[in-house]
Chains A and B, each alone.
Chain A
């Protein structure tokens, strides 16, 4: 049996257990409502969940643009210039270790409890790993490659486009994978803490009234979002792998396990 079929079997049996165990009475519905009652709860409130999903997706999309765009841009600058690197990198690295969620209440004071505070928080949260990975990716480019390009008469912009960017892509992508995942975490968590809309808000509201099927319906939506994001990154990695066949990082990126799947606790 191949690993892929085995994986599918495990997922299918987990789904089956989710349905069977609560139904058979092994697990109280309050702790784990069965899959069918979860889906039914979600379906009955489809309008509410649809609206919440739209809010969350909007926040995720904007935060993703800030986190990835800003992270790649700043990472590229910091990675290629030694002076800012010495200044900024230690600060960013230690900031990365701080549980940034403690800042979220401050953001709500500054920006209100609407989408702005979520976007601010999730952007910063996802920005850090993206920037660190980009800086590392640019810093670790083999100087021999740049020297060779120069010996062939490559100008600075040609070296950037034809050497630095393709050489940095694998590391940048692994940073995007972590950064993007953190953006989703950041948005959902901040919605759960202090807010008035979004899936995180729904989960936390239904939890306070102990309506487990509706809580799990929200959880399912977040799960789907994360899976969709992962699939999107994999697609980009496959596209990029055409460029970087053969680099070790390229093979990592093409593999199933994300090299930097470790995330700090929120």
Chain B
């Protein structure tokens, strides 16, 4: 008989399944329906971008996939199992503001999730070094966040999300606070890291250009109550290049998203 450990799980690591999910915020005066009947399948290793007007609940959806918020109805599974609370072994999260702890150095920030789990100092340091190297910050480990630029802070933040090697990386408008040039560079860097690690990425953004440039698939959401109104496959070849931005294929995809958003605005 086969030992139990050899039985492959029904869902491969990194698959995200969102089934008929709804979210209602209760306030004292009324109930606000933030999300209604959202269903979504993300295959392992895909780069999926959520776009939509402000208040469409895309960040809320991301927080629920991260286990930081529980849905009012429906089910969410990561690698086949529900996520009742945050689990950094399955899901890493990168926030808009780098949200690094200012009193810790870059490497201590990256080590933070490991320290929570009692990983030994040497082991922690080694894994943080690997993660910092992966995001291109070799040699910056001893710096504090205020000594790093905005782009570098987000790199540290990505390293922190990846340090436990989870199959899924969730990113909530990670580059929104960066200037245009840094944003472009960070997009390319993220694609490089994604290609090197093969993670499943779910990425929330306001920028249509960023969405099409990065994604395998773009999910377009409507304003409150948030629903999925379109699901585009971006078939542009990889690696993506700056020249594609001015191509016809790129333009028509971006126009299609924009028409959805303009209609709902």
Chain A residues with a Cβ under 8 A of chain B: 142, 144-145, 147-155, 158, 162-163, 166-167, 243-247, 250
Contact = CB atoms under 8 A, between A and B. Distances in A.
Contacts of A154: 116
A203 B99 CA distance: 54
B103 A152 contact: no
B88 to A, nearest CB: 5
B86 A153 contact: yes
Contacts of B91: 151
17 contacts: A147-B99, A148-B99, A151-B91, A151-B95, A152-B86, A153-B85, A153-B88, A153-B117, A162-B112, A163-B101, A166-B101, A244-B103, A245-B102, A245-B146, A246-B146, A246-B147, A247-B102
Contacts of A247: 102-103, 146
B147 A152 contact: no
Contacts of B85: 153
A154 B117 CA distance: 9
Given A153-B85, A153-B116, A163-B101, 19 more contacts: A142-B97, A145-B99, A148-B99, A150-B86, A151-B68, A151-B88, A151-B95, A152-B116, A153-B88, A153-B113, A158-B116, A162-B112, A167-B101, A243-B103, A246-B102, A246-B103, A246-B145, A246-B146, A247-B103
B211 interface: no
A247 B147 CA distance: 11
B254 interface: no
A147 B95 contact: yes
A156 to B, nearest CB: 12
B109 to A, nearest CB: 10
A170 to B, nearest CB: 9
Size category of the binding interface on chain B: 20 to 34
Nearest to B105: A245
Nearest to B66: A151
A183 B16 CA distance: 59
Interface of B: 66, 68, 85-88, 91, 93, 95, 97, 99, 101-103, 112-113, 115-117, 144-147, 160
Given A152-B88, A152-B116, A144 B146 contact: no
A242 to B, nearest CB: 9
A244 to B, nearest CB: 4
Nearest to B113: A152
Contact of B95 (A144, A155, A246): A144
A166 B112 CA distance: 14
A72 to B, nearest CB: 18
A147 B62 CA distance: 13
Q: Which of B86, B88, B91, B103 has the most CB of A within 10 A?
A: B103
A95 B158 CA distance: 47
A166 B95 contact: no
B111 to A, nearest CB: 11
